[in-house]
Amino acid sequence: IEKIIEQTGYRPSEPTDSPLVTIGVLIPYWPDDYFVRQTQEGIRRARRLLHPREVSLLVRQMKTRSDEECIRACEELVQEGVQGIVFNSPDSYLLCAEIDSLTERGIKVITYNSDLPSSSRLCHVGQDVLKSGRIAAGLMARSVHPRDQILIITGVLEVRTHRVRANGFIERLQELGFRDNAYRLVECNEDEQLTYDAVSHALRTMPNLRGIYMGTESVRGCVRALQGVSAPLTVICNDLTPFARQQLRRGRID
């Protein structure tokens, strides 16, 4: 339907008595601007499909990942008259409380990419991160033996998306016969240098290291750390960024 709308230039009839709905959209800070650009493109596509006299979008780009900045942006949007807010945020008590407060004031909240299920948010739009981690573990198990060691790189475990994805990976590994000491979980804050350091340290301290699961987007740091390494290693990534696509084509990751 969206393809036909774009091809034909179709637009709904002019509204008559429809009130203007204003929705606020918060774009979080990401170290890799690929995710920012993807989100912005999604917003642009939505604007093309929504009638401007029926729906207005107010977009705010976050400069940090602090709860305080997110709450401040939400309150500013409320002051500007939004009826709903769409945002991606860590799973924190402060943000759950802010969503509950917004809901009590009649502001609908939808989360995307990272969810806060314990809040009163209306719904979540995003991938099944538990299944994502489980599928990655099943793919990894095709290339490594239960006696081998695996390094799991995640972003920040306070972010539910990262935490649940890692849990799904570990859960499936255990079902496939891997012991608890077969893997090491490291938080790298989605930072390329921290990822490089973690992979380099694992190469020195994990003699049976045969697999690396990149449950976060700092794949570049992992690939850089593996340059010149001759040992057979399977690297599985989660995010299909331009760099990841390039490495897939070169056969360096899966």
The confidence score (pLDDT) of residue 151 equals 98
The confidence score (pLDDT) of residue 105 equals 96
Q: Is the pLDDT of residue 39 over 80?
A: yes
Residue 94, classed as helix, strand or coil, is helix
Q: Is the pLDDT of residue 16 over 60?
A: no
SS (H, E, C) 156-218: CCCCHHHHHHHHHHHHHHHHCCCCHHHEEEEECCCCHHHHHHHHHHHHHHCCCEEEEEECCCC
Cβ neighbourhood burial of 166 (10 Å; 0-12, 13-18, 19+): buried
176 versus 3: the higher-pLDDT residue is 176
d(CA 149, CA 213): 11
Give me the helix-helix angle, 160-175 and 129-141, nearest 10°: 40
Residue 252, classed as helix, strand or coil, is coil
Cβ contacts of residue 235 below 8 Å, gap of 6+?
211, 212, 214, 219, 222, 223, 226, 252, 253, 254
Helices (H) and strands (E) in the chain, counts: 9, 9
d(CA 182, CA 214): 16
d(CA 101, CA 103): 5
Query: Mind listing the pLDDT tens digit for each residue in 169-219?
Result: 999 999 999 998 899 999 998 899 999 999 999 999 999 999 999 998 899
The confidence score (pLDDT) of residue 13 equals 62
Contact 141, 108 (CB under 8 A): no
Confidence of residue 159 (pLDDT cuts 50, 70, 90): confident
Element containing residue 138 per DSSP (H, E): helix 129-141
Query: Mind listing the pLDDT tens digit for each residue in 57-115?
Result: 999 999 988 899 999 999 999 999 999 999 887 778 899 999 999 999 999 999 998 88
The confidence score (pLDDT) of residue 19 equals 52
d(CA 98, CA 67): 10
Q: Is the pLDDT of residue 119 over 60?
A: yes
**Taking the chain, what is the end-to-end CA distance rounded to the nearest angstrom?**
33
Averaged pLDDT for residues 230-243: 90
Q: What percent of the chain has pLDDT over 70?
A: 96
